[in-house]
């Protein structure tokens, strides 16, 4: 007879919190950097993006200034296959990718964005995905699960018949979004949706 209890890993929340919470506190005290001028570094880990001010943006009425607007991670290549590969500039390259998205957006200014990040080394890199999930639960960042599309990659060959994401509808300009042939989204509906965003 099947018993679900034989499959449940009984790890107390307090034990998980004992590892994750100190890392969260450390993350909240890491320095901010201008996303258009972050330093050269190597490593993998997690990061957050911030709008210094939401004035003159579509987020003015719904998002506090300096509240995380996006949380992400950059794990070592091969980690999903259990391989140990050189980390290199994995985290910095991910931030660079986001910088390009913001640069290409017609109504965003890179000078308005800051980032902070936390690097994991050695066995601690196994915590990267868990830490990203924890940060998303803590902050509920707008560009993660409320407005979709910021972190997506360019569609593969033969997949340009899709609609632009909500993010690309609010912030047109990314080169691949201009090539999408799917039905455009209703920008007015997305703007209305923003007014119900529960940031905290």
User: Digits of tens for pLDDT over the chain (200 positions)?
Assistant: 999 999 999 889 999 899 999 999 999 999 999 999 989 999 999 999 999 999 999 999 899 999 999 999 999 976 555 556 668 899 999 999 999 999 999 999 999 999 999 999 999 999 999 999 999 999 999 999 899 999 988 877 667 788 889 999 999 999 888 888 788 889 999 999 998 898 65
Place of tokens 């009425």: 61
SS3 assignment, position 159: coil
Residues paired with residue 118 on neighbouring β-strands, in sequence order: 46
Residue 130 CA to residue 87 CA, distance in Å, equals 18
Could you list the beta-strand ranges (E) of 37-175.
44-51, 68-74, 113-120
What pTM value is reported for the model?
0.90
Closest CA to 177 of 144, 155, 148, 145: 155
Helices 128-139, 13-27: crossing angle, 10 deg rounding: 80
Round to whole Å and give the CA distance between 90 and 73: 9
User: How far is the C-alpha of 149 from the C-alpha of 198, rounded, in Å?
Assistant: 18
């Amino acid at each position: 007879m099947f018993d679900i209890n034989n499959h449940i890993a009984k790890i107390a929340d307090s034990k998980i919190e004992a590892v994750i919470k100190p890392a969260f506190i450390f993350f909240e005290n890491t320095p901010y950097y201008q996303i258009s001028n972050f330093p050269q570094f190597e490593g993998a880990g997690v990061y957050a993006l911030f709008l210094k001010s939401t004035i003159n943006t579509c987020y003015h009425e719904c998002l506090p200034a300096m509240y995380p607007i996006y949380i992400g991670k950059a794990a070592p290549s091969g980690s999903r296959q259990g391989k140990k590969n050189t980390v290199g500039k994995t985290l910095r390259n991910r931030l660079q990718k986001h910088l390009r998205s913001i640069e290409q957006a017609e109504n965003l200014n890179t000078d308005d964005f800051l980032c902070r990040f936390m690097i994991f080394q050695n066995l601690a890199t196994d915590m990267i995905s868990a830490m990203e999930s924890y940060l998303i639960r803590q902050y509920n960042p707008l560009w993660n699960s409320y407005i979709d599309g910021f972190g997506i990659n360019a569609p593969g060959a033969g997949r340009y018949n899709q609609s632009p994401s909500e993010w690309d509808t609010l912030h047109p300009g990314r080169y691949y979004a201009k090539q999408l042939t799917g039905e455009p989204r209703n920008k007015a509906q997305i703007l209305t949706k923003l007014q119900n965003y529960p940031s905290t």
